[in-house]
Amino acid sequence: MKPQSHAFKETAAHAIHDPGLQKALANVRSGFVAKRARARSALPEFDQLCDEARDIKNHTLAHLNLYLEAYETKVREHGGHVHWATDAAEACGIIADICRNQDARTVTKGKSMIGEEIALNDHLERQGFEVFETDLGEYLIQIRGEAPSHIIGPAIHLTRPQIEADFRRVHTGLPADRNLDDATKLVAEARAVLRERFVAADVGITGANLLIAETGTSVIVTNEGNGDLTQTLPRTHIVIASIEKMVPTLEDANTILRILARSATGQDMSTYTTFSTGPKRAGDPDGPDHYHVVLLDNGRSAMLGSQFHDMLRCIRCGACINHCPVYNAVGGHAYGWVYPGPMGAVLTPSLVGIEEAGHLPNASSFCGHCEAVCPMSIPLPKLMRHWREREVDEGRMPLVQRTLFKAWAFLAKRPALYRAASSIGIASLSLLGRRQGRIRALPFASSWTRHRDLPAPQGRTFRDQWRAGRRT
Amino acid sequence: MTRTRQSSERQPRVGLFVTCIVDLFRPSVAFAALKLLREAGCDVEVPATQTCCGQPAYNSGLRADARPIAAQVIAAFEDYDYVVAPSGSCAAMLRLHYPELFAADAAYAPRAQAFAEKVYELVSFLVDVMEIDGVDASFGGSVTYHDACSGLRELDIKDQPRRLLESVKGLELKEMDEAETCCGFGGTFAVKYADISSAIAERKTKCAGEAGADCLVAGDLGCLMQLAGKLSREGSGLSVRHVAEVLAGMTDEPAIGAPED
């Protein structure tokens, strides 16, 4: 999808007043946040595992070229194919070619954020293939023509009645009198439709949570089992993964898997953890005949060794998103692309450019909750601050803001002048609101007073009182 | 005030970093800090050349503007035994971010680091350094405590204010849900993204209100301006004070955003 991050402010303002969305967002707090806290406290070695996982990723990123080559060699040994894609267009082209070579008509997809990042569905549909998302959340946003609003819960912005209405609109065979008034019935309805897709598909495309260099294996975690059906039933399985998903060994993958689901949904493990290593071998009861891996760079290698290097440790658990007060207020669509919340605020400018995504690293109160819950110890506020510095360096800070800061900094560097100026300012402000204790409207501070009162200053500044001899 | 430390030690010399927002809006917080520090046995001074810590510039990406302001703070305070601020946010700026601001300056970096190690937020300084385990104050009513983000997550301030608040005579502590969730202030964020900041504050005032306390207390005046302003706009009866005022027993001044008696 084309990024809409430049419209963050407008979309966010709308989202804050969308009662359906606000109701749906309450599930993030009551679900993900509370469950993660329980899962963490139930595992005494959780923090230690996080440190180990961080070290594994740091090591891997420091030797990424070697591990990528080792992985490629292993995949080929198992009879699979590895394709290297520099950007979205190249990745889409490679995948469409594979589908064409297989004379494919229909394609099923497991959930893949990389698929979203490269807008794979749009490309394949333009090339004449029928594409069906099989993850329930992805399926919902596909039939609604929407982007995901969360990296692990793409349809978390929806409420049950909205989903029921969508099914009645799209599933033409659905009898009008069929009861769909709870989640189980909705899942059963989706399952019935999706089962036919799985069986009919010529190509199955999945993402990867991890790639293992030692064995040439890709790993996906799901709670619906749709990933397994997507990758084992069709003749051809295509894995689409970005290069930083690599880990050296099975043991390393295990360490990360132990913190991934706990950080994401609060589960000890996802319901399904699936390892795929090449096509069906002689004697295997099932599996694809053809196995392809498309390794996507799309800006990652440029992040290596840059100020944003640490972001490449991200395992896409979504903990930072779930704990973010800004995300919880505005939801994922406001971020305007594929990756919302703090991880999106750092990653999106790296991938689509700061001129498009400048709002995202700025729209943070720097509360630090994201960094505190990140299992990979990514210093997200610091990285957002680096984006703000980059904007200043590139002269992107609006002139008015820049001028105000310059004036303020000029004063702050001159204590005597600062004291005199603040003394006058505070005296006037105090006159306005001292008796009531608050100021309800201030013309030059309307962005504050539109939403809240401004508590009035007590009177003279501390420094004036101190100079006048007051000591207690 | 209860001290467990030997009183025969030399009085530590403390430089009080007032913070710009306390200086401008609520001097009583600085006077409360002075009282608490003196009662804890400190020799407190207020260097005249302080203005602001530079955090607004630093967090807006203006490192070049933040650096001379930081250097001015370091020069004014580096000779004290300790530097204490009635704010977790400003203290974290001085303690954690100044060294980062000068990290690339090999000549100056050790000086910034040596300074940083002396910096503390007021309440954690009283408890962790001065080893105070109670205060001589009283407060008639119940209090709910908001964990301001920087203090909580950058300086590990969680139990210290609660321990001292519980020693205040007549004070009952009532915990709110989501005490550790941001109030939505975030410095310039509060005006640059005012809609979002306000929506976050609404959630916070809801949790604070549901705690059923008489007074909302925190260690950072930025958060308190945001929450007092929001509560006032909502017509709430919940009063708002800085933790130092309550611990120092200096609650005669009207609460933040409250009218004169």
How distant is the Cα of A388 from the closest Cα of chain B, in angstroms? Answer: 5
Interchain CB distance below 8 Å, A391 and B28:
no
Alpha-carbon span A90 to A95, nearest angstrom: 9
End-to-end CA separation in angstroms for chain B: 30
Q: Is the pLDDT of residue B137 over 80?
A: yes
CA angle at A31 for the pair A25 and A35, rounded to the nearest 5°: 145
Q: Yes or no: say if A267 and A261 are a contact pair by the CB < 8 Å rule.
A: yes
* Amino acid identity for residue A344 in this structure: G
Residue range A446-460: average pLDDT? 95
Interchain CB distance below 8 Å, B51 and A418:
yes
| Element spanning A84, H or E | strand A81-85
Of A325, A408, A418, the CB nearest to B181: A325
A contacts of B26 (beta carbons < 8 Å): 457-458
Of B61, B199, B226, the CB nearest to A391: B61
B254 DSSP 8-state letter:
P
Q: Yes or no: say if B16 and B238 are a contact pair by the CB < 8 Å rule.
A: no
Q: Yes or no: say if B217 and B165 are a contact pair by the CB < 8 Å rule.
A: yes
Residue range B177-192: average pLDDT? 96
Name residues whose C-beta falls within 8 Å of residue A286's C-beta, 6 or more positions apart in sequence: A232, A233, A280
Residue range A298-308: average pLDDT? 97
B142 interface with A at CB cutoff 8 Å: no
pLDDT tens for B13-34 read: 999 999 999 999 999 999 999 9
Q: Yes or no: say if A311 and A350 are a contact pair by the CB < 8 Å rule.
A: yes
Alpha-carbon span A235 to A287, nearest angstrom: 8
How distant is the Cα of B60 from the closest Cα of chain A, in angstroms? Answer: 6
Among residues 14-33 of chain B, which lie with CB inside 8 Å of chain A? 18, 22-28, 30-31
Average pLDDT, chain A: 96
Interchain CB distance below 8 Å, A451 and B198:
yes
> What are residue A454's DSSP bridge partners?
A439
Q: Taking the mean position of all CA atoms in its chain, how far away is CA B166?
A: 18
A-B C-beta contacts closer than 8 Å = 207
Most B CBs within 10 Å, among A11, A410, A452, to test the B interface: A452
Domain with CATH 3.40.50.10420 in chain A: 43-301
Name residues whose C-beta falls within 8 Å of residue B72's C-beta, 6 or more positions apart in sequence: A412, A413, A415, B49, B50, B51
pLDDT tens for A140-189 read: 999 999 999 999 999 999 999 999 999 999 998 899 899 999 989 999 99
Strands (E), A245-372: 246-247, 272-276, 290-296
Residue range B154-167: average pLDDT? 98
Residue range B147-164: average pLDDT? 98
Alpha-carbon span A406 to A16, nearest angstrom: 33
A438 interface with B at CB cutoff 8 Å: yes
Q: Yes or no: say if A353 and A23 are a contact pair by the CB < 8 Å rule.
A: no
Confidence grade of residue A28 (pLDDT, cut at 50, 70, 90): confident
Confidence grade of residue B5 (pLDDT, cut at 50, 70, 90): low
Residue range B224-251: average pLDDT? 98
Of A12, A415, A438, the CB nearest to B51: A415
Alpha-carbon span A392 to A327, nearest angstrom: 25
Alpha-carbon span A155 to A132, nearest angstrom: 16
Q: Yes or no: say if A89 and A96 are a contact pair by the CB < 8 Å rule.
A: no
| Element spanning B14, H or E | strand B13-16
pLDDT of residue A444: 81
Among residues 73-132 of chain B, which lie with CB inside 8 Å of chain A? none
pLDDT tens for A369-401 read: 999 999 999 999 999 999 999 999 999 999 999
Alpha-carbon span B107 to B250, nearest angstrom: 44
Q: Yes or no: say if B85 and B116 are a contact pair by the CB < 8 Å rule.
A: no
Interchain CB distance below 8 Å, B189 and A453:
no
Interchain CB distance below 8 Å, A391 and B23:
no
pLDDT tens for A309-360 read: 999 999 999 999 999 999 999 999 999 999 999 999 999 999 999 999 999 9
In degrees rounded to 5, what are phi and psi of residue B217?
Answer: -130, 145
Q: Yes or no: say if A146 and A338 are a contact pair by the CB < 8 Å rule.
A: no
Strand, coil or helix: A107: strand
A462 interface with B at CB cutoff 8 Å: yes
Alpha-carbon span A7 to B175, nearest angstrom: 38
pLDDT of residue B130: 98
A363 interface with B at CB cutoff 8 Å: yes
A contacts of B197 (beta carbons < 8 Å): 365, 451
pLDDT of residue A42: 98
A contacts of B194 (beta carbons < 8 Å): 447-448, 450-451
pLDDT of residue B93: 98
Residue range A104-129: average pLDDT? 97
Residue count (chain A): 472
pLDDT tens for A232-279 read: 999 999 999 999 999 999 999 999 999 999 999 999 999 999 999 999
Most B CBs within 10 Å, among A367, A400, A467, A470, to test the B interface: A367
Q: Yes or no: say if A291 and B162 are a contact pair by the CB < 8 Å rule.
A: no
Q: Is the pLDDT of residue A120 over 90?
A: yes
Q: Which chain B residue has the Cα nearest residue A365?
A: B186
Residue range A12-38: average pLDDT? 93
Residue range B110-132: average pLDDT? 98
Q: Hey, how many other C-beta atoms are within 10 angstroms of the C-beta on B177?
A: 12
Domains recognised in chain B with CATH numbers? 2-127 (3.40.50), 133-247 (3.40.50.11810)
> What are residue A132's DSSP bridge partners?
A108
Interchain CB distance below 8 Å, A438 and B257:
yes
A303 CB-side CA count, 13 A:
27
Q: Is 0.90 topped by the overall pTM?
A: yes
B197 interface with A at CB cutoff 8 Å: yes
CATH code, A43-301: 3.40.50.10420
